[in-house]
Copies of this chain bind each other. A is one copy, B any other.
């Protein structure tokens, strides 16, 4: 079951818009066990579109075309596919009614090409457009490749795909087995080291498959099991997860596509009923802003301090000036004082601090990327740890925030 997604639109070719539709459709197809081996983009050009369809028809069972169903001159997807299939276009009565009704109500002028949006290729199933005018269609082909045509605007494509196309595809292409995915999320271990540590599993395992993926500061593993039902899938996924965790479990912080380290930490804080504050120097509020992005955090996060200059560290946190003078602003002692004092002042259970060299220049003879994080966690002794991060300013700061979150996570599960 090979599928190709073809997006039609010169504005995508020119980079004026990003092809988010392809990702949306691909993810849905993957969830249904339909393999996408190629994605293509061509402009609003009948000749090159025909060429792309010819290439795709040779290597696929299903071609999904997105875009080019609108009323303007450069919309020619369905005409081109109709030509390729040697079929005529016919009019969908319901869609036509909707268009006529709209123009009557809006007092805008209806032009001849507006009718085009209601047309579909003879022999296909027209797909209703709940949020626009152009009908989609699904053409089942006994002599070759199937075609699915979807509109370009994401707010039209998404409901049409989910509500009308997906059930039809499922019906036709799905065999006995279903696909189940589980995403494991890791922080504090690089992609290559993680991949090396579980190389044999990745190589040997075919069900579930294991796919690593790295973002700026974290790595995820997507396990995908093929099974007859959820129960069987769960067993397969549990087994593989256990093997992985026996090697790199300490770095795993959570599950799921839409998850993040800060969400996991805030959730654990809420569960434990522990409040938190921060004193931020080089991160300048980024740690607290990350907390603030999670709904519901207000019950454990009253606020905190941005102490960028030394004067603010003394003034806002009452850290004796001599502490900073003696030890330096980027030091274990200063980090500890910042964490302890922020916790005291805000009367929270946890106080965390960040002081370091964001760069590009060195500070106090310490090179960019040098960061001390301090942590006052309940009544445990106040600690501070030294880190050396990559030397790009925004990365140093992002990495500091995530490392602080991960430290708190580790303390919370102790």
| Chain A residues packing against B (C-beta within 8 Å) | 10-20, 22-30, 36-43, 45, 48, 52, 55, 70-73, 105-106, 108-109, 111, 113-114, 131, 153, 155, 190-193, 195-196, 199, 202-203, 211-214, 216, 222, 257, 278, 280-289, 291-293, 295, 297-298, 301-309, 311-313, 315-316, 345-346, 358-361, 388, 392-395, 397
Contacts and interface: CB of A to CB of B under 8 A. Distances in A.
A302 B309 contact: yes
A12 B16 contact: no
A57 to B, nearest CB: 14
A294 to B, nearest CB: 9
Interchain residue pairs A-B with the least CB separation, the first 4: A284-B292, A285-B285, A15-B26, A15-B27
Contacts of A38: 13, 40-42, 48, 52
A339 to B, nearest CB: 15
Contacts of A199: 73
Contact of A28 (B15, B41, B281, B291): B15
B308 A301 contact: yes
A225 to B, nearest CB: 15
Interface centre among A16, A216, A282 (most CB of B within 10 A): A16
A106 B11 contact: no
B72 A192 contact: yes
B309 A303 contact: yes
Contact of A18 (B18, B313, B316, B397): B18
B36 A14 contact: yes
Nearest to A213: B11
A12 B26 CA distance: 8
Contacts of A30: 14-15
A72 B289 contact: no
Contacts of A280: 285
Given A11-B211, A14-B26, A23-B12, A42 B37 contact: yes
Contacts of A111: 192-193, 196
A19 B408 CA distance: 34
A251 B29 CA distance: 41
A253 B155 CA distance: 24
A30 B43 CA distance: 13
Given A39-B40, A195-B73, A298-B308, A18 B15 contact: no
Contacts of A284: 285, 288-289, 291-293, 301, 303
10 contacts: A13-B39, A14-B27, A15-B30, A19-B19, A111-B196, A285-B285, A285-B306, A297-B308, A303-B316, A315-B345
